[in-house]
Amino acid sequence: MSQSNNLEPVNALDRAAFVGAFASVFEHFPQAAEGAWSARPFISEAALHDAMMDVIRHLDADAQRAFLNQHPLLSGANIRSGTMTADSDAEQKSAGLDSMAADQEAALDRLNASYLARHGFPFIICVRHYTREGIFSALERRIGRSTQQELDEALAQIAAITRARLKARLSALNSCEISRI
């Protein structure tokens, strides 16, 4: 755990404040924060993240699929629509998905549709870890995998995405705490 992420303020939050601070870490799923609250006190950022991921891992198969289906498709049109969460919008823009040529957007739309038809949930990838070309390559490769492999991979990618989001929330929280001293 880094010095900048002191968890004493997090551990001291009541349930409502804790959920308010971390509800948006998981896409449209405040239940991850709600479920993790009872695991306090957290000894590290990793322990907090693990508690939130455990909520997701312990969902039954239908609930996990419903959770995955809350995630937006990777799409320039989604970015332009302004309907995504601020996190998803920033993440997709970081991979240049907002500046694709028309043929690239059409190709991404076709790949997304194929993936969704095969697996029943959207393609999920931690876009901050990939170039735009790397995202296309991973999507093409992952379409052909088994749905169970993709469920496992989607959860691993969500772990990477939410780890970064949580780190940002903790840094912001600690900055607020430090500025009050």
On whether both 112 and 143 belong to a single domain, the answer is yes
Rg, Å, the chain Cα set: 17
Query: Is the domain of 46 the same as that of 14?
Result: yes
Confirm whether 72 is domain-assigned: no
14 vs 34: CA distance, rounded Å: 11
- What percent of the residues of the chain are helix, what percent strand, and what percent coil, each to the nearest 5? 70, 0, 30
Q: For residue 58, indicate whether it is catalytic.
A: no
Same domain for 152 and 111? yes
List the CATH number of the domain containing 96.
1.10.3330.10
* Same domain membership, residue 38 and residue 92: no
Residue pair 31/64 in contact by the 8 Å Cβ criterion: no
Q: Does some domain include residue 129?
A: yes
**Angle, nearest 10°, between helix axes 147-180 and 45-57?**
140
Residue type at position 37: W
Asked if residue 136 has pLDDT above 70, the reply is yes
Residues 150 and 172 reside in one and the same domain: no
In a domain, 16, yes or no: yes
Same domain as 171, residue 154: no
Q: How many CA atoms lie within 13 A of 29 on its CB side?
A: 22
- Asked whether residue 171 is assigned to any structural domain, the reply reads yes
For residues 131 and 110, state if they share a domain. yes
pLDDT of residue 76: 86
Question: Which residue range forms the structural domain that includes residue 148?
Answer: 78-158
Tens digit of pLDDT for each residue in 157-173?
999 999 999 999 998 88
Residue of 28, 49, 58, 71 marked active site: 71
Looking at every residue in the chain, the average pLDDT score rounds to 92
Domain annotation covers residue 73:
no
Number of domains in the chain: 2
Contact 74, 154 (CB under 8 A): no
CB 123 within 8 A of CB 112: yes
With CA atoms as reference, report the closest residue to 156 among 137, 131, 138.
138
Q: Is residue 94 part of a domain?
A: yes
pLDDT, tens digit, 9 for 90 and up, residues 117-127: 999 999 999 99
Residues 109 and 148 occupy one common structural domain: yes
Q: Which pLDDT score, from 0 to 100, does residue 82 have?
A: 86
pLDDT in tens, 64-101: 999 999 999 999 888 989 889 999 999 999 999 999 99
pLDDT of residue 177: 55
